[in-house]
Amino acid sequence: MRATALIGVKNEGAFLIEWLAHHRACGFTDFLVYSNDCSDGTDLMLDRLATMGWLIHMRNDGPHPEGPQWAMLKAADKHPAIVKADWLLFCDIDEFVNIHVGDRSLNALLHALPDATAITLTWRMFGNAGVIEISDQPVTETFTHAAPATFAWPWRAQLFKTLFRNDGSYRKLGVHRPRSPDPARAGMARWYDGAGRALPADFPQGRIFSDYTRDNYALVQLNHYALGSMQNYLVKADRGRANRDTAAFDMSYWVERNFSAFEDRSILALNASHLRAELLADPVLGPLHHQAVQWRRARFATLMQQEPWRALFGRLLMTPPSQVLQPQDALHILIHAQTAAKRDSLKQS
């Protein structure tokens, strides 16, 4: 079985080795990685990893009027690594597949859901937990506190990425799910959630978030380390969004993702430390990794010479972890959201 992970990266060399080692240990056999206008040496690390046989590296330097992520997805649609894959997953470098069944591998997950043509990997948000400084420590070991398994708001915290069978049912890649379904194969789609439940017809056609009042993690979850340390968050905000260049990383993004009430160390059961050590020991790759970490520290120091960045950093320091809304509190939002959804549905009909 060929399971291919597709990602796009910009100035994320500090996290690249951990992400690759984890997903190789998880069972992904192939990686197609696009780099976007890197300044920290990420592209050089990818060149080295390609030489070592770990991945395929494609440069995706701009400008990209539609955003680098959509440009990458369009280019990847026809790439041989995508065409030849049996299973596909598009995700980001701050997202880690965390399988809870069997030996925690992709094979074990697919064995548990033999009829599946697509599996929704629902985000579990891992908060900042008060970590301030940039450090050269594994993300999965540093950030171990997350959102609860079920909660009522915000719905964005229950978005998913889709692991799907590359059987021709969909003709285009998408950010959260494959796109452009083939009408001739529509009735054959078998979508399951991360708890192993068969999903209704709106999922194969267009849904991008799970039912956030249900526990979606019994078999698999997608650990989403969207924030990282406060210093790293400033560097991330400076980089900008991959799919919408005009949408900033700001305090609203931080508050909607900074959940730290529940400890979850389950991902550490899949030990990829030997693969990380192997990659860091490479005489070319190891120094490039350390240079990328230093680049982030230097970039943070440069940003802090400007008042808007100092103000944002101050707000991060002052803001406690986000409160998990109870259902009765979330109703103050949900009743209005439901009214708006009904209004929009009537307009479309």
Strands 160-165 and 170-172: unpaired
> Above pLDDT 90, what percent of the chain?
77
Is it the case that residue 156 has pLDDT exceeding 90? no
**pLDDT class for 280, splitting at 50, 70, 90?**
very high
Q: Please state which of the ranges 183-192, 206-215, 244-253 shows the lowest mean pLDDT.
A: 244-253
Q: Where are the chain's structural domains?
A: 3-348
Strands 179-181 and 145-146: unpaired
Is it the case that residue 242 has pLDDT exceeding 60? no
Per residue in 170-204, pLDDT tens? 999 999 999 999 888 877 899 999 999 999 988 98
- Segment 262-279 mean pLDDT: 97
Q: Please state which of the ranges 15-29, 150-164, 274-288 shows the lowest mean pLDDT.
A: 150-164
- State residue 325's pLDDT score: 85
User: Is 134 in contact with 229 (CB distance < 8 Å)?
Assistant: yes
- Segment 139-166 mean pLDDT: 92
Distances (CA, A) of 181 to 2, 79, 213, 283: 22, 19, 28, 45
Six-digit token string for 282: 């490479």
- State residue 66's pLDDT score: 82
* Mean pLDDT for all residues in the chain: 93
- The larger pLDDT score, comparing residue 62 to residue 133, is at 133
Per residue in 282-339, pLDDT tens? 999 999 999 999 999 999 999 999 999 999 999 999 999 999 888 788 888 878 877 8
Distances (CA, A) of 227 to 25, 60, 143, 267, 288: 24, 24, 10, 18, 23
Is it the case that residue 258 has pLDDT exceeding 80? yes
Strands 262-263 and 145-146: antiparallel
- Residue 323 is given by DSSP the state P
- State residue 246's pLDDT score: 45
User: Rounded distance, CA 158 to CA 239, Å?
Assistant: 24
Distances (CA, A) of 194 to 110, 163, 197, 269: 11, 10, 7, 18
User: Is 99 in contact with 105 (CB distance < 8 Å)?
Assistant: yes
Of the candidates 329, 137, 133, 122, the one whose C-alpha atom is nearest the C-alpha of residue 218 is 122
Give the H/E segment covering residue 18. Answer: helix 13-26
- Segment 53-75 mean pLDDT: 91
- The larger pLDDT score, comparing residue 92 to residue 343, is at 92
- State residue 324's pLDDT score: 87
User: Is 312 in contact with 237 (CB distance < 8 Å)?
Assistant: yes
Is it the case that residue 245 has pLDDT exceeding 50? no
**pLDDT class for 241, splitting at 50, 70, 90?**
low
- Segment 81-109 mean pLDDT: 97
Number of neighbouring beta carbons within 10 Å of residue 184: 9
- Segment 155-162 mean pLDDT: 91
* 163 strand-pairing partners: 89, 119
**pLDDT class for 96, splitting at 50, 70, 90?**
very high
What is the SS3 assignment for 44?
helix
DSSP letters spanning 185-254: GGGG--EE-TTSPBP-THHHHT--B--TTS---SSEEEEE--S-SHHHHHHHHHH--SS-TTPPP-HHHH
- The larger pLDDT score, comparing residue 61 to residue 316, is at 316
User: Rounded distance, CA 149 to CA 299, Å?
Assistant: 35
Contacts of 258 (CB under 8 A, 6+ apart): 125, 127, 128, 227, 319, 321, 322
Number of neighbouring beta carbons within 10 Å of residue 79: 17
- State residue 348's pLDDT score: 62
